[in-house]
Structure 1
Amino acid sequence: MEARKFVVWDYAVFVAVLVISASVGVYFAFTGGRQKTNSEFLMANRQMSVVPVAISMVVTIISAITLVGTPGEMYTYGNELWLYSLAASLGYFLTAVLFVPLLFPLKLTSAYEYLQLRFKSKSAKLVGSFITLVNAILYMGVAMYAPATAMEIVTGSPYWVTLILTFVVSSFYSALGGIKAVIWVDALQSFIMLAGVIAILIKGSIEVGGFDKVWEINDMHNRVEPLHLDPNPLIRHTFWTIVVGGMVDILARTGVYQAAVQRYCSVPTLTKAKVTTLMNAPIITIIWSLTCMVGMTMFAYYSQKGCDPLAAGYVSNPNQLIMYFLMDILYYPGVPGLFVGSVMSAVLSTISSIQSAAAAIFWEDWLKGFFKKMPAEKQTMITKGLVVLFGAAGTGLAFFMATVGGTVIQVGLAFIGASVGPLLGLFLLGSVFPWSNWIGAIVGGLTGLAFPLWISFGSLINKPPVNYLPTDITNCTNYLNITAKWASTTPVPTIASEGLNGLYSISYQYNGCIGMATVVVVGLIVSFITGAEKIEDADPKLMMPIFDWLFCCLPRKCSRALSCGIDYDKTKEMRKKGEDFFPPESDEFVEKENGIVNESATIESSRL
């Protein structure tokens, strides 16, 4: 059974999407300040509107990994991953409550300047920056490979052609138009993505007989799971692994990750930054739910036909199912091109965002100190070159990802969680625990990155068997690969939880939690061994009033004592008024802009 391919109209629609994206970059390159300064190129002069920034934050999370991987996940494993939308909503709420009030008033370009301010150590900042750059390359690799392998089905071209095309287009409009182009293209592409998903969902459910019928078929085949409350971390998906693990993942990616901080700091006020973040919850819930429904519709459709294309070998991996389904039910001129354009829009949104964020981090944290006297325009040219460089690095890793099996959603969330969880741990170590010092931050940060990445790569290499849900192949003809593992109708026994196999069998959803906890625990232990910081030295502007919140019902004197004696009152009032903690005319602001905090140069030289 040959898969259908693109026709001329499909290519025309697909190319139109790419041209529009590139045109936005050209527009912002020749309007406004023309991206001549890093303030405009990286932060849009902090004058962006709430709605496009909120949408941009969502589509940075809802990448092609989601559009391609989630339907394949629902098809092969059932509907449990739908709970991730609840996890995401909780993560956005915590970001608005915890990290937006902490970081927005600091007016940072690189989020990791916070680590230097808090620990009075540039090395601590560089550890956070390094973790983020590792994550950026890993994330780009997975996000770029996801649509590349899927598009082989509809275009017939090898995946590497799609990889190179993605790199060229995203680098073009990101380097020309800066963060303004990225945000506005994200907003535009979100509507294209939504249109493509809705089109395939409506047509697919009509073919099956309505979504009631879709649900009934999935339920009949045990794909509508009740809440699985078993706390065993070795079980791939339970309520706890998805909600807790997913919440930590989203909190890290929206609270402290550069791409998100760069966005909510691009609006003019703290209130708008909070609103921008909270707006993400309903948007991501809608998009995630739609992609889950597409996966259930795919299963119902092929179950009625009695032929699973994955088991029959018509597609080589679950990530290609969505494209195969598309060509089965929406083979009208231009329509497949629209959906493939939506997938490409998703990957362009993600890659451009990460390229811009990585360039901002590397410039602010690693290079800026060496080029202080260089004219602003030349500094911006270097930053634009970094956008292209990181795009190339992500493309290189995407070629490596071609060897990875399984659903791309699992691979993506595993590596993303393993590299953003430690970042969240670093910020929590600094903002919650006043005793932590710079040595604890460095040792904890590096240990917290290494441990979950070891688990991720170990799981990838060992590939512990999992239970694939059975499918029907009785009506298939011309089997291409009937002996493939996907054809098995008998559940595969779960791997024994002994030794390293047990470690590698921990749910991939917990990778972020493991990284976060490792940083905090190791960081505190090392801090106390090497000499904990004095509580009275903690700057309230750089701390979260966690203990004040926990003991809010106690008399103020008792609450102050339990909150380590830190007086948050003045800071609280400044946050309410939306005042800058470092006004542009202050000495602290000048020192911060130069990458130096009070006395940090002296302290740093003595420490190193």
Structure 2
Amino acid sequence: MQGFTVIDLIILVVYLAAVLVAGLFFAKKDMKGKEYFKGDGTIPWWVTSVSIFATLLSPISFLSLAGNSYAGTWIMWFAQLGMLVAIPLAIRFFLPVYAKLDIDTAYHYLELRYGSKALRILGAVMFIIYQIGRMSIIMYLPCMVLASLTGINVNILILIMGVIAIIYSYTGGLKSVLWTDFIQGSVLIVGIIFALIYLMSHIDGGIGAVFNSFWTEHKFLAPDQPIFDANILRDSVFIMIFGAGLNTLGSYVSSQDIVQRFTTTTDTKKLNKMMHTNGILSLVLATAFYLIGTGLYVFYQQNPLPPAAAQDQIFASYIAFELPVGITGLLLAAIYAAAQSTLSTGLNSVASSWTLDIQSRLAKNEISFEKQTRIGQYVSLFVGIFSIVVAVLLASGGITSAYEWFNGFMGLVLGILVGIFILGVFFRNANACGAFAGFAASTAVMIYVKYMMTGVSIWSYSLISITVCLVVGLIASWIYNAVTGKKSEAPRFTVYSDFKKGLKEEKVEAAQA
């Protein structure tokens, strides 16, 4: 057990320097306005796809996925299969709308669909508050783990991570963020595959021993874990897959950090390739993490446990104390990379949402592209510094529980936001009044469900919130139309039925020709 050596430290430092240089390299072109927030049209779809993967896979996932299967079963792996629900729905119903409208942000769609600046600003405010909390926690947690393994002061790790992300987010906008995400995502993929192969080769019995534990010790699925329950409010494998699918769909549809990737192109074929590649990467790597977790369970039955062998630190401890010198530095850099990638994405998405969704909509006069860029840079700088400060406070232990509660609450509300996107895309007669009513009703219901009801599966939350939003939104829209005598009509191409109608017309014209 050699632990973290000087060679590993050198590799970690070289890696961080290389990421910074790469970010500055892609920032060479002076991009202004929408180019700063959407890229310059030269970013390949496969780069964007890996960036989506790197954004969704936070370091919390990196550490906890292996920890889950190490300490328990593969039950949480089934949540990854939600991709099979989310990706087809997003490709079929939402991406064609976003591509046709050439939206600037996720919440730009709300203004175009409902004709309401207030809805656009509401969506942006909810996202920004949630994202700032998320970025702080994503800096804090992995740095705490790395500090315990490397001996480096946690505040120094937080500061370095934040400063590097701020520099290339500030200077190069989305283009720098996407390319550095691609580099860091690639390091992550290579590192995880190597760790899996190395681990399996050092287990007596190899991968066969891991699969044997599935049946002899129920490491895949416990006997008392139900596959299906007719009561969808209870835990089961089915509701986990479906509920996780709706959660992931919510990220694809209404979270600016993901939707921002879709705005880099209006080519639906490229968008579809992004989604399929991201889905494959996510499923394959999640499976690798769970195999590693079960592999660690078998390995540490055959070998003594390392220091810091807590559930969510078991994989990081294995990296530090079992892998060869040099590889340890690279794999710990991969954990750092996952955090830095999510952080840089958060900074740029918050900057774009504040500038385009809030400040531009509240300004009396149109803001020039040069001023938009400056505002975005200042926002990313301010938010980055603020997130560093909060992460340092979290590391000191002063406000951990309250801040985690706050972040969890905001995550719940942000998840509710997807309901008004679904309402807008599928129901032509829905209007702004209905959207506000649906959002308010689903928020109230979900706060009650989360904090006042016990026994309700967390995987049914999204199903409940979306259903409430749609029912209340449609009723409120109908009442508003009846009282005012107006007939709500969605602008062209803001609802999916416009595309369905267009496809039918094209088929008729082709048959007549």
Interval containing the TM-score (normalised by the shorter chain) = 0.7 to 0.9
Quickly say closer, same or farther: Cα 1:15–1:573, change in 2 above 3 A. farther
Greater RCO, CA 8 A, separation 6+: 2
Deviation at 1:244, TM superposition (A): 1.0
SS, match of residue 39 in structure 2: helix
* CA drift at 1:530: 3.7
Structure-2 change in CA distance of 1:197 and 1:134 (3 Å): same
Identity %: 23
Deviations 1:351-403 (A, max 9, x none): 11121111111111111242845553233121011112333444455454867
**TM-score, scaled to structure 2:** 0.87
CA shift in 2, pair 1:308/1:505, >3 Å? farther
Please tell me the residue identity of whatever aligns with 1:194.
I
1:521 corresponding residue in structure 2: 471
The answer as to whether partners of 1:417 and 1:511 remain within 8 angstroms in 2 is no
Match of 1:147 in 2: 142
Please say if residues 65 and 142 of structure 1, whose CA atoms lie closer than 8 Å, have aligned partners that are also in contact. Answer: no
Cα distance change on mapping 1:103 and 1:374 into 2, 3 Å: closer
Q: CA deviation at 1:225?
A: 0.8
CA distance in 1 between partners of 2:418 and 2:255 (Å): 8
C-alpha contact 1:99 1:255 (8 A) present in aligned 2: yes
2:337 corresponds in structure 1 to 345
Equivalent position of 2:384 in the other structure: 391
CA shift, 1:420, in A, is 4.0
Shift in CA distance, 180/436, structure 1 to aligned 2, threshold 3 Å? same
What amino acid maps onto 2:167 in structure 1? F
Give 1:423 deviation, angstroms: 2.2
SS in 1 for 2:279: helix
Cα distance in 1 for residues equivalent to 2:109 and 2:34: 18
Counterpart of 2:302 in structure 1 is 304
What is the CA–CA distance in structure 1 between the aligned matches of 2:445 and 2:3, rounded to whole Å? 44
Q: Match of 1:249?
A: 247
Tell whether the 8 Å contact from 2:33 to 2:371 is kept in structure 1 after alignment.
no
Give a deviation string over 1:284-339, Cα, whole Å, max 9, x none.
1111111111111111112233x666xxxx43742222111222321x32221101
Assess if the C-alpha contact under 8 Å between 2:100 and 2:266 holds in 1: no
- Out of 86, 96, 100, the residue aligned to residue 95 of structure 2 is 100
Q: How does 1:358-437 map to 2 (within 5 A)?
A: 358-369=350-361, 370=363, 372=365, 375-395=368-388, 398=391, 399-400=393-394, 418-437=412-431
* Match in the other structure for 1:512: 462
| 1:483-494 matches, cutoff 5 A | none
User: Which residues in structure 2 correspond to 1:75-474 (within 5 Å)?
Assistant: 75-209=70-204, 210-225=206-221, 228-231=226-229, 238-305=236-303, 314-315=307-308, 317-330=310-323, 332-369=324-361, 370=363, 372=365, 375-395=368-388, 398=391, 399-400=393-394, 418-449=412-443, 451-452=445-446, 458=451
Measured on the aligned residues, the alpha-carbon RMSD in Å equals: 3.1
- What residue number does 2:510 align with? none
What CA distance in whole angstroms lies between the structure 2 residues aligned with 1:572 and 1:252?
A: 29
Structure 1 pair 413–355 and aligned structure 2 pair: CA distance change class (3 A): same
Give the distance between the partners of 1:83 and 1:295, measured in 2 at CA.
Answer: 15
8 Å CA contact retained: 1:421, 1:514 = no
Judged with a 3 Å threshold, the aligned counterparts in structure 2 of structure 1 residues 437 and 267 are, in CA distance, closer, same or farther, namely closer
Report the CA distance between 1:45 and its aligned residue. Answer: 3.0
TM-score by length of 1: 0.74
Amino acid at match of 1:507: S
Cα deviation, 1:423-473, whole Å, max 9, x if unaligned, reads 2111011122233221232233244346546766x4xxxxxxxxxxxxxxx
Gaps of 5+ in 2: 507-513
- Note closer, same or farther for the CA distance 1:453–1:279 as it changes in structure 2 (3 Å cut): farther
Q: Structure 1 stretches of 5 or more lacking a match? A: 459-499, 546-565, 575-608
Letter in 2 for 1:509: W
1:381 counterpart letter in structure 2? R
Give the whole-Å Cα distance in 2 for the aligned partners of 1:419 and 1:334. 43
Structure 1 Cα separation of the partners of residues 40 and 436 of structure 2? 32
Matched pairs, number = 495
Q: Partners in 1 of 2:133 and 2:297 — Cα distance?
A: 30
